[in-house]
Amino acid sequence: MPKLADFKTNEKSWWCPGCGDFGVLAALQKALVDLGVEPHNVALVAGIGCSGKIGNYINCYNLHVVHGRALPAAMGLKLANRSLTVIAAGGDGDGYAIGAGHFLHAVRRNVDITYIVMDNQIYGLTKGQMSPTSHSGFKTRTSPEGNIERPVRPLQLAIAAGATFVASGFSSDVKQLSRLIAEGIRHRGFALVNVYSPCVTFNRLNTYDWYKEVLSNLDDDPTYDPTNRAMALERLIETDERVRGLVYRSDQPSFEQLFPGYRDEPIVGQDWTLPEEDFTQLLEQFR
Amino acid sequence: MPKLADFKTNEKSWWCPGCGDFGVLAALQKALVDLGVEPHNVALVAGIGCSGKIGNYINCYNLHVVHGRALPAAMGLKLANRSLTVIAAGGDGDGYAIGAGHFLHAVRRNVDITYIVMDNQIYGLTKGQMSPTSHSGFKTRTSPEGNIERPVRPLQLAIAAGATFVASGFSSDVKQLSRLIAEGIRHRGFALVNVYSPCVTFNRLNTYDWYKEVLSNLDDDPTYDPTNRAMALERLIETDERVRGLVYRSDQPSFEQLFPGYRDEPIVGQDWTLPEEDFTQLLEQFR
Amino acid sequence: MRERRLTSWKIGGEQGQGIDSTGEMLAIVCNRLGYYIYGYRQFSSRIKGGHSNYKIRIGTEPVASTCSDVDILVAIDQETIDRNHHELVPGSVVVADAHFEPVLPEDSPARLLSVPLTRIAQDVGSPVMRNVVSLGVSAYLLGLPLDAFKEVVLEKFGRKSREVGQQNLAALEQGYAHAKEHLPAPSWRLAPGDGKRRLVMMGNDAVALGAAAAGCRFCAAYPITPASEIMETLMSILPRYGGVVVQAEDEISAITSCIGAGFAGARAITATAGPGISLMQEAIGLAHMTEVPIVIVDTQRGGPSTGMPTKHEQSDLWALLFGTHGDTPRIVLAPSTVEEAFYDTAQAFNLADRYQCPVVIASDLSLALNKQTVDGLDLSRVQIDRGHLLNDDEIAQAAESAGFRRYRVTESGISPRPLPGQPQGQYLATGSEHNEFGKVSEDPKNRVAQMDKRLRKVPSDPAQMGLTGIKYTGPEAPELLLIGIGSTYGPIDDARRLLEAEGYRVGHAHVRVLAPLPFKELADLMEQAQRVIVAENNAQGQLAALIEHRVGVALRERGATMPEVHRLLKYDGTPFLPAEIAADAREVTSYAQAG
Amino acid sequence: MRERRLTSWKIGGEQGQGIDSTGEMLAIVCNRLGYYIYGYRQFSSRIKGGHSNYKIRIGTEPVASTCSDVDILVAIDQETIDRNHHELVPGSVVVADAHFEPVLPEDSPARLLSVPLTRIAQDVGSPVMRNVVSLGVSAYLLGLPLDAFKEVVLEKFGRKSREVGQQNLAALEQGYAHAKEHLPAPSWRLAPGDGKRRLVMMGNDAVALGAAAAGCRFCAAYPITPASEIMETLMSILPRYGGVVVQAEDEISAITSCIGAGFAGARAITATAGPGISLMQEAIGLAHMTEVPIVIVDTQRGGPSTGMPTKHEQSDLWALLFGTHGDTPRIVLAPSTVEEAFYDTAQAFNLADRYQCPVVIASDLSLALNKQTVDGLDLSRVQIDRGHLLNDDEIAQAAESAGFRRYRVTESGISPRPLPGQPQGQYLATGSEHNEFGKVSEDPKNRVAQMDKRLRKVPSDPAQMGLTGIKYTGPEAPELLLIGIGSTYGPIDDARRLLEAEGYRVGHAHVRVLAPLPFKELADLMEQAQRVIVAENNAQGQLAALIEHRVGVALRERGATMPEVHRLLKYDGTPFLPAEIAADAREVTSYAQAG
Ligand SMILES: Cc1ncc(C[n+]2csc(CCOP(=O)(O)OP(=O)(O)O)c2C)c(N)n1
Ligand SMILES: Cc1ncc(C[n+]2csc(CCOP(=O)(O)OP(=O)(O)O)c2C)c(N)n1
Ligand code: SF4
Ligand code: SF4
Ligand SMILES: [Mg+2]
Ligand SMILES: [Mg+2]
C-alpha cells in the first residue's frame, strides 16, 4: 500500500509560509493514500497560478498546462487512459475567469475527473489583482477603490450547470478536505471540490480567522441533505456559499458510460492496427 | 420619429426561407422603433453563425466580430460610447459554447447592454452539429448515435451567475418578443433575451410546432412573479426552461453606475488633452 | 462520333437546390465507369440561396486540377448562365431549364439547349427533382450508359423510401428520354472508361482515414468550415475501435484535450481552419514545451479573421510557422493531393511521436473539399512508429531518487519517454521552463541546455527525417522553375505540361514539407534555374518569402547567385487555373528574354 | 579621496525580504541627488522565498545598461554571496549580515564587511528592518549624504504610521553610524550629482503615461507578468479623465473589448505578454479586417508557453509579425529606452487612427520593469492625430441610398471613417470579407480590391510614415555593424563605446520600427559594413532572419553583396552585458581578419 511519503517530492516549496495551498496539498496526498492508489496511476493536471504549482510537490504524473486550461487537458487525459485517477487543480482566476467556459462544459460533460479549486479570492501569483470570486468592495491592485463586480458563485454555478458532485472545503481542515477529495475521486463523473485556501500575502480580508468565523460545516448538520438539489441551492444562496462539507451529489451516468463503443482499457494498451478487411470496407463508401 | 423602414437595409437575406431568425430581426427592428431610437444611435454587435448575420439586415452601426466574442466587444463599445443603445446578438453555439466564459462574466459585470441569443439548439452555419443547448439524445452530424451531453440551461445559468434581467422569447411571436427586447433595452444593466428561433434546415426536432406545443407563456400567468428569484429558478427547473416571457428582473446598479469617475458623455466627445499641470503632477511620483 | 478523353461538366443554381448532390452523383457514376474525375464546388457561407456550382472534369487519365473551360453547363437558373457563360468554349452546350426562359449572351460560343427540367420533374412528382432530370440529360450528352446512373440514383434516394427512389429514377429516365428525342445529337462522346472502380475522395476523407489507419484513437475538435468533416468522419469510425471523439466547446479546449490525450500516450488529432489555428497558438507552444505529440490539421481558407470561410486560400503558412510566442521548432507537412493527405496524416503521427512535438498538416480548402480520383490507398504502407518510449524495466533502471529524467539532455535532443501508468516514471510536464526532471527551473544554464535540446531535436532538413521535401518533375536544369505548395499541385502540373508542349524547359518543384523547409534541394534547383515563379494562393507571397530567405542564404554560402523570385499570387478565393499559370510563365520568360 | 563617476551597487536576499524596496529607495535617493541610475531586478515566478536581487548602476552621466561588475554587494543571506560573488571586482566590498556568519570564497577580489544588520534592526524594533540598516551602511560606503536617505525612508514608511517611520529612520541612522564607526574608510566616493531631480521610471510607467497623454481613455487587460503595471497604472489615472479600465476575464475578452471601444472612436489599449499575444491572434486579425484602431503592448518574457515569466527575452518578434492567420500588414514599434516607450506609445495611437489597424508596441521585460533615469518627458511633443474621421456634413454628403461606403477603395488605401452616433454613417464592420459598404461579399474582384486596399494602406517603409526606423550611432562606413532591438540598446551602445575606444570602426543600428522594417536604411548601412552582428535575446535569431531576408533582397536588387549576418543570441533569461557583446565583436572581427 502506498504511504504518504510516496506522494511527496524532494522539491522545496515555492509557496509563502502559511499559504492555504499547503493544506490542500496535504489533503490531496492523504486522500490518495486513503484510496490506496499508486503514484504512477495518478495524473494531476494543474493550471497556472500559485495554486497551479501543486504539481511540483506531488509525486505522480503531472501535466502543468497554460492558464485556465486544466479541465480540457484533464478530460483528454482521462478519456485516453481510463485506468488513471485524474485530478485537475488550479486557482479561482484560473478556473473561474479565463477558464470559466471550460468549467461549465466540463460540468455538463461529466467526465470522471476531480477538480480542486484553491479559491483564495485573489490573484496570488501575479501579486494581488482582484479575482472573479473577490468580494464586492474589496480593494486590490486592480480595484483601488473597491471591486465593483459581483463575485462568481462557483458552487451555485456548478449546480445550475448540472454538476453531479459539489463539495466545499477549507484548507485548514485537512481531515475534512481529504475526505471530500476522496469522495470526489470515488464519485463516478465530474466532481468539484472548491477549497477556501487563504492567500496570506495578498488577501487580508479573507483570512484564516475570517473563514473560521463565517464557514458553517454542512457535514455537521443532520438536517442537511446533500442529495436534495433545491435544498443545496437554497442553502448556498442563504449563506452566500460560506459553507464547507459535501454540498450536493447525484448519481448520473458519466460521459464514459454513455459514449458509444467505450472500452475500459487505456487507449495506449489497445491494439491500434486497423484490420485490412475493415479498411477495405471503409473505402467502399468512396467507390 | 424613426420608422420600421429606417432600420431595414437593401441587403438580400442569406437565411433559409422560414428560418426563425427572420422573426428575431423583425422583433428587434420593431423594438427599436417603439423605443424611438435613431438608427445612428444604435450599435449592434453580432457573433458568427447564421444568427450572427443579423447585422447584415439592420440599418445601424454594426460590428460583426469573431465567433463567440460579441459580448466583450459590446461591452467595450458601450463603455466607450455611453449614449448608444448597444445590442449584442448571436447563436447558441456562439454564446454558450465558445462564448460561455464571456457570457458568465458579462452577466456579473452588468454593463448596460442587451444580449439576444437566437437559440436553435443546433449549429446552423456549419451545417448541423450539436450545440450546447441540443437535447440529450438528439442525433446530429456530430452525435450520430444521439447527444450524450446534458444541455446548457442558459436561463438558469444566467440567474445563478447574478443576472438582473432574463427573458425568454419565441421567434414566432414577434409582438411578445419585441416587447421583451424593448424591456431589455430599457433595463439599466445587462439583459439576456434568449429566443427559441427554429432552424428549419438542420433541426427537425425543435420545430415551430414543437415549440408551440411545449412553451408556456409566463406573461399570461398571473401567479408568476418575475421579481422573485427563487420562483424563477423553480419554474425554470420544473419546465426545463420551456417558457416564454419575462423570467426575472431585479434592480441593481450597473457597472457604469459603480465605476469611479464615470461620465455620461461618450469618450469620443470628451476633451482628450491631458492638462500640463496634471502631467507634471503625474510625473512627481517618479522624482 | 468523335471521342474525347477529357471533358468538363458543370451544374449551377441556388444553394439548397441539389447542386452538390447532382455533382456527387455524376462523380460516382464516372468513377464506377472507370473515369478519373476532379470535382470543384463553389459555394458561399450560407445555407440556402446564393449561387453555387459544381464543376467536374472527367477524363480517362488522372485529372489533377480544375480548369476554366466548360463543355456542358447545366443551368438551373439564369444566374448560373450569367456567372458562368465566360467559361463556355466553342462546341459547348448549355442545358437550361426552360422554366426560367433562359437567355445566353449573343456572342456566346455555346449552344443553348432549353429543356423543361422543372416541368418534367413536376410530372413525375415534384419540381425539386429538376436536378435529377438534368442528370439524365447529362448522361445522354456525355454518351454515358444510363444504367450506371440508375444505380447511383437508386442508392441515393432509395434509402429515404422506395417511393422517393422510384420517383427520382423516373426523373432521370425522363430526362434522358427527353434529351434523346428532342436535343440535337452530340458531336462527341467520352471515350469509354476502363471500368476500374477507383476511389473518389476529398482531402478531409483522406485525413480522417489516415488518422484511423495510424492508430489515432482520440479526436477533439470544434466545427469549422472546411475542416468539420474530419471530426465527423472520425466520429463514425473511431468508436468502433475504442476511440473517443469529442466536439469541444472551442478550439482551445480541443487542442488542450489533445495534449492531455497525447500526454497519456494516445495518438490525438484536432482539425480546424485559420480562426481555430489563431486560437490554438498558445496551446501549440504548450505542446512544444511539454514535448507532447499531437497532430493538428489546418484546412486553410480565405483569411484574415472570418475572411471568406468557403473560399480557397493558402494564407496561414506564416501563422503555422511563426504563430506562437517564443522559440519553437516546427514540423509542417503539406500534402498536395488527396492520396498524399492520407499518407502524410499517417506519417504525421509517427513524426509527432518521434520528435515529441506537435505536427501540423497544412491542407487547404481545395484539397480539403474537392473530390479527386485516387487510384487506391495502401494500408500496408502505414507503419506505426511510436518513437522512443520506455518499457517498465528501462524506467526502473533509469529512475533516480530525485525521480525520472524525462527531459534528459541527449545528443539528438530526443528524450526517452515514459507514459502515465508506468511505475516509477512519474514526472512533471510543464509549459514553464524546466530541468531534466521536469521541475520548473529558471537557471540560466539549464535554460540554454533545454532550449537547445528542443531546437536540436527537429532536423533542419526533411531528408534527415526520411521525408520527401520536394516533389520535382522536369528536366535537370530547367530554364524556368515553377514552385508551389498544397492543392496548387494539379494546376501547376497541368501548366508545366502545357509549357513543355510549347518547348519550354520547365520544371515543377512542389514543396511537400513546409517545415523544416527543404532549402538545400530548392537551392540545387534554383541554382540552375534562370527564372523562378512561386505560385501560391495568398496576397503576401508567404511561401516565396520563406524560399527567398532560406535559399538566398544557402546560395550565398555556396557563392552562387540567387535568381529573382517572381511571385504569382492569387487570392480572390478561387484556385489557379492551369492556363493562368502558363500565361504568367510565358510573360515572365518573355520579359526575361527581352530584358 | 578618489572620486568615481560610475559605480554599481547590488542587494540580494530572499524574495519578500525587502530587496526590491531597498533598491527602489536607493534609486530615488540617487535621482534626487542628480545621478543617473539603471536598475536591474532579478526575481523569480514566486511570491516569497527564492533568491532575488536588485542591482543599481549609479553615474553622473546617463547609464543605459546593466553590467557584470559589482562594487558594493549587500548580502542579506549567504545565497546572495554564493550566487553573485563572481561579479565582484577588485576593490569591491561585500556588506553581509553578521547574523548568518557570511563566508566569501577565498579567491574573491572583494573584501568582506560583516555588519550586524539584523541585530541593529532588532534593537530599533524588528529584524525585518535589516534592509533599511543596510541602506544606511550603503549611504556611508557610497559617500552620499544621509539626509537624502532620511527623506526617502520617511516618505516610504511614514505613510504607514508615524511610529513605523521613526523606527525605520532609526534603523537607517544606526546603520550609517555603525558603518562610520566600525568599517574601514572607503577608498572612493561618488562624484557629486548635479542635483537635478530627473525621473526614474520603468517602461511600463512610460507606456501608461504615454497612453494617458495621447488621449487613450479605455483599457482592458488581463493581469500577466511583466505587463500588469500598465493596466494598474492606467486604473489610477484614467478614471480622473472619464476613462474606463476593465480587468477582463481573459486576454481574448480584453482585446475584443478594445476593438469595441476602438470601433466607437475611443483610443483603446491592452497590454500583455507572450501567452496573451498568442491568445489574441484571432482578434488581431479581426481588428485588421474591420480596420479598427487599437494599441497592443507586448512586454516580452521568456517563452514559449509559460516559459520563464519573470525572465527577459525578445522571442515574440515572429509571433507579432506573422501570428494571425491570413494576410495582414503590420505596424510594430520597438522602443529601446523608457523615454522612447513614452513617445512611441503616444505615437502608436496616431498610427492606429491614421492607418486604421492595430499597432503593436514590442516591449520586453528589461525595458518594461527596469528603472532608468529619464531626463524629462515633454507633453507638448505629444500631438493627437485622429486620422481621417468625417464630420456629420461630410457623411451626409457621402452617404448613398445603399448606405455609407465605409471601405471605399482609395488610392492610399485609407478609407475615411464615421463613428457610431453620427447620422447616416451607419455601416457594417465585419471580420468577413466585405465590399465598400461593409456588406459581406465573396465576389473575387471585390476581394482583391479590398485586400489590396488593406495591404496598401500601410507604407512599406517607416520613413513614409514619418517614423525613425533606425537609430544609428557610428561612423559612415563602419567595418563592424551592431544591430539590435528593444532594451538591448543600452548594452549594445556601451559595447560600441568600448570597441570604439579600442580603435574599431564600429556602428550601432538600433531597429526602432520592426514593421514595416526599415530595410532600405539597413541596406545602406549593411552595404558598407564588412561584418554585421545582430544581437538579440532569443534562440532562433528572429530579428536576424528578417534582416537577412529583406535586406538580402534589397541588396541583390542593387547588385550589391550581402555581408554575412552573424547572430549573437542570448536566451538564458538575462539581458546582455556590454562586455559580452564587445567580446563577441572582437572574435567576429578577428576571425574576419584571420579568414
Ligand atoms: C494566458 C495567461 N494570462 C495571464 C497569465 C498570468 N497569470 C499567471 S497566474 C494568474 C492568475 C493567478 O490567480 P489564480 O488563478 O487565482 O491563482 P493563485 O495564484 O491565486 O493561486 C495570471 C493572470 C498567464 N500565465 N497566462
Ligand atoms: C473560432 C471559430 N471557430 C469555429 C467557427 C465556425 N463556426 C461558424 S458559426 C459556428 C457555430 C454556429 O452555431 P450557432 O452559434 O448556434 O449559430 P447558428 O448558425 O445556429 O445561428 C461555428 C462553429 C468560426 N467561425 N470561428
Ligand atoms: S501569494 Fe498567496 S497564494 Fe501565492 S503562495 Fe503566497 S500566500 Fe499562497
Ligand atoms: S441553416 Fe437553420 S439557422 Fe441557418 S439560416 Fe437556415 S434555417 Fe436559419
Ligand atoms: Mg487565486
Ligand atoms: Mg445555433
How would DSSP label each residue in D99-127?
GG-----TT-SSEEEEE-HHHHHHHHT-G
Q: Dump pLDDT digits (tens) for A228-239.
A: 999 999 999 999
Tell me the C-alpha distance between D156 and D25, whole Å: 8
What is the reported pLDDT for C458?
97
Q: Which residue on chain D is closest to A95 by alpha carbon?
A: D249
Q: How many whole angstroms from A154 Cα to the centroid of ligand 5?
A: 13
Cβ B164 under 6 angstroms from ligand 2: no
Phi and psi at B94, nearest 5°, equal -55, -45
Q: pLDDT above 70 covers what percent of chain B?
A: 100
Tell me the C-alpha distance between D429 and D412, whole Å: 20
| 3-state secondary structure (DSSP) of residue D61 | coil
Best of B16, B21, B51, B67 to mutate for ligand 2, by most ligand atoms within 8 A of CB? B67
Ligand nearest the Cα of residue B20 is 4
Amino acid at site D408: R
Q: What residues have a C-beta under 5 A from ligand 6, the ion?
A: B 91-92, 120
Cβ A48 under 6 angstroms from ligand 1: yes
Smallest Cα distance from C291 to chain D, Å: 12
Strand partners, D565: D532
Could you count the other beta carbons within 10 Å of the beta carbon of residue B49? 25
Q: Dump pLDDT digits (tens) for A10-51.
A: 888 889 999 999 999 999 999 999 999 999 999 999 999 999
Q: Which residue on chain B is closest to C249 by alpha carbon?
A: B97
State yes or no: pLDDT of D593 exceeds 90: no
Using a CB-CB distance cutoff of 8 angstroms, which residues of chain A are in contact with residue C213?
A: 274, 279
Could you count the other beta carbons within 10 Å of the beta carbon of residue D90? 8
Could you count the other beta carbons within 10 Å of the beta carbon of residue D143? 16
Contact across the interface for A100 and D275, Cβ inside 8 Å: no
Contact across the interface for C223 and B126, Cβ inside 8 Å: yes
Q: Which residue has the higher pLDDT, B248 or C594?
A: B248
Q: Is the dihedral of CA A127, A129, A133, A138 positive or negative?
A: positive
What is the reported pLDDT for B42?
98
Cβ B120 under 6 angstroms from ligand 4: yes
Using a CB-CB distance cutoff of 8 angstroms, which residues of chain B are in contact with residue A237?
A: 229-230
Which CATH number fits the domain C201-381, given the four candidates 3.40.50.970, 3.40.50.2000, 3.40.47.10, 3.40.50.2300? 3.40.50.970
State yes or no: pLDDT of B12 exceeds 90: no
Tell me the C-alpha distance between D533 and D553, whole Å: 18
Among residues C536, C483, C546, C534, the alpha carbon closest in space to that of C511 is found at: C483
Tell me the C-alpha distance between C444 and C437, whole Å: 16
Look up residue A116 and give its three cell numbers. Answer: 480542486
Predicted ipTM beyond 0.85? yes
Strand pairing category for C6-14 and C51-59: antiparallel
Smallest Cα distance from D271 to chain C, Å: 15
CB D383 within 8 A of CB D319: no
What is the reported pLDDT for C593?
57
CB C24 within 8 A of CB C7: no
Cβ B178 under 6 angstroms from ligand 2: no
Locate all alpha helices (DSSP H) within chain A, ordered by sequence: 21-35, 70-80, 92-96, 100-109, 154-160, 174-186, 208-214, 229-239, 255-258, 276-284
Stretch D54-65: mean pLDDT = 93
Q: Which residue on chain B is closest to C252 by alpha carbon?
A: B98
Domain total in chain B? 1
Using a CB-CB distance cutoff of 8 angstroms, which residues of chain B are in contact with residue A153?
A: 160-162
Q: pTM of the entire structure?
A: 0.97
What is the reported pLDDT for C89?
93
The answer to whether D431 faces chain C, any CB pair under 8 Å, is yes
Cβ A119 under 6 angstroms from ligand 1: no
Q: How many whole angstroms from B200 Cα to the centroid of ligand 4?
A: 6
Strand pairing category for C111-115 and C188-190: unpaired
Stretch D494-503: mean pLDDT = 95
Amino acid at site A40: H
Neighbours of chain B (3+ CB pairs under 8 A): A, C, D
Domain range for B155: 4-285
What is the reported pLDDT for C46?
79
> Where do the structural domains in chain C lie, given as residue ranges?
2-197, 201-381, 468-594
Best of A19, A94, A172 to mutate for ligand 3, by most ligand atoms within 8 A of CB? A19
What is the reported pLDDT for D595?
47
Q: How many whole angstroms from C4 Cα to the centroid of ligand 2?
A: 44
Look up residue D483 and give its three cell numbers. Answer: 544591430
What is the reported pLDDT for D11?
97
Atom of ligand 4 nearest to the CA of B14: 5
- Cβ-proximal residues to C230 (8 Å cutoff; 6+ apart), any chain: C204, C207, C208, C211, C219, C221, C269, C271, C297, C299
**Which helix (DSSP H) or strand (DSSP E) does residue C292 occupy?**
none
Using a CB-CB distance cutoff of 8 angstroms, which residues of chain C are in contact with residue B126?
A: 223-225, 228
Best of B118, B125, B134, B196 to mutate for ligand 2, by most ligand atoms within 8 A of CB? B125
For chain A, count helices (H), then strands (E): 10, 8
- Kindly state which CATH superfamily the domain C2-197 is placed in: Pyruvate-ferredoxin oxidoreductase, PFOR, domain III (3.40.920.10)
Cβ B73 under 6 angstroms from ligand 4: no
Atom of ligand 2 nearest to the CA of B94: 15
What is the reported pLDDT for C594?
52
Stretch D530-545: mean pLDDT = 97
Stretch B45-66: mean pLDDT = 97
> Which of B100, B143, B201 comes nearest C47 by C-beta?
B201
Contact across the interface for D327 and C315, Cβ inside 8 Å: yes
Atom 5 of ligand 4, residue of closest alpha carbon: B15
Give the CATH number, domain containing residue A110: 3.40.50.970
Asked if domains D2-197 and D201-381 share a fold, the reply is no
Tell me the C-alpha distance between B135 and B204, whole Å: 12
Q: Dump pLDDT digits (tens) for D452-479.
A: 999 999 999 999 999 999 999 999 989 9
Look up residue C165 and give its three cell numbers. Answer: 427512389
- Cβ-proximal residues to C73 (8 Å cutoff; 6+ apart), any chain: C9, C10, C11, C12, C80, C81, C84, C85, C87, C88, C92, C93, C94, C95, C110
Phi and psi at D15, nearest 5°, equal -55, 135
CB C462 within 8 A of CB C469: yes
What is the reported pLDDT for C154?
95
Strand residues in C185-317 grouped as ranges (E): 188-190, 199-201, 216-221, 244-247, 267-272, 294-302, 308-312
User: Dmax of chain D from CA atoms?
Assistant: 89
Tell me the C-alpha distance between B142 and C22, whole Å: 25
Neighbours of chain A (3+ CB pairs under 8 A): B, C, D
State yes or no: pLDDT of D592 exceeds 80: no
Question: Sorting pLDDT into bands at 50, 70 and 90, what band is D16?
Answer: confident
The answer to whether D399 faces chain C, any CB pair under 8 Å, is no
- Determine the topology of domain C468-594 in CATH: Rossmann fold (3.40.50)
Amino acid at site D10: K
Using a CB-CB distance cutoff of 8 angstroms, which residues of chain B are in contact with residue C16?
A: 16, 201
Strand partners, B249: B165
Segment 79-118 of chain B within 8 Å of chain D by CB: 79-81, 83-84, 101-102, 104-105, 109
What is the reported pLDDT for C592?
55
Contact across the interface for C240 and A81, Cβ inside 8 Å: no
Question: Sorting pLDDT into bands at 50, 70 and 90, what band is D594?
Answer: low
Residue that is written with C-alpha cell 422603433 in the block = B33
pLDDT beneath 70: ranges in chain C: 591-595
The answer to whether B148 faces chain C, any CB pair under 8 Å, is no
Cβ B171 under 6 angstroms from ligand 4: no
**Which helix (DSSP H) or strand (DSSP E) does residue D375 occupy?**
none
Q: Residue B192 region, left (φ>0) first, then alpha (ψ -120 to 50), else beta?
A: beta
Look up residue D365 and give its three cell numbers. Answer: 521585460
The answer to whether A159 faces chain B, any CB pair under 8 Å, is yes
State yes or no: pLDDT of B37 exceeds 90: yes
Q: Dump pLDDT digits (tens) for D291-348.
A: 999 999 999 999 999 999 999 999 999 999 999 999 999 999 999 999 999 999 999 9
Q: How many whole angstroms from A61 Cα to the centroid of ligand 1?
A: 22
Q: Dump pLDDT digits (tens) for A155-201.
A: 999 999 999 999 999 999 999 999 999 999 999 999 999 999 999 99
Cβ C47 under 6 angstroms from ligand 4: yes
State yes or no: pLDDT of D48 exceeds 80: yes
Q: Which residue on chain D is closest to A140 by alpha carbon?
A: D232
Cβ B215 under 6 angstroms from ligand 4: no
State yes or no: pLDDT of B267 exceeds 60: yes
CB D52 within 8 A of CB D19: yes
Cis preceding-peptide flag for B198 (omega within 30 of 0): no
Taking CB atoms and an 8 Å cut-off, how many pairs form between chains A and C? 211
SS3 labels along chain B: CCCHHHHECCCCCCCCCCCCHHHHHHHHHHHHHHHCCCHHHEEEEECCCCHHHHHHHECCEEEECCCCCHHHHHHHHHHHCCCCEEEEEEEHHHHHCCCHHHHHHHHHHCCCCEEEEEECCCECCCCCECCCCCCCCCCECCECCCCCCCCCCHHHHHHHCCCCEEEEEECCCHHHHHHHHHHHHHCCCCEEEEEECCCCCCCCCCCHHHHHHHCEEHHHCCCCCCCCHHHHHHHHHHHCCCEEEEEEECCCCCHHHHCCCCCCCCHHHCCCCCCHHHHHHHHHCCC
Contact across the interface for A99 and B101, Cβ inside 8 Å: yes
Cis preceding-peptide flag for D184 (omega within 30 of 0): no
Using a CB-CB distance cutoff of 8 angstroms, which residues of chain A are in contact with residue B101?
A: 97-102, 104
Q: Dump pLDDT digits (tens) for C138-180.
A: 999 999 999 999 999 999 999 888 999 999 999 999 999 999 9
Atom 8 of ligand 3, residue of closest alpha carbon: A19
Best of B15, B24, B211 to mutate for ligand 4, by most ligand atoms within 8 A of CB? B15
What is the reported pLDDT for C595?
46
Tell me the C-alpha distance between C259 and A63, whole Å: 9
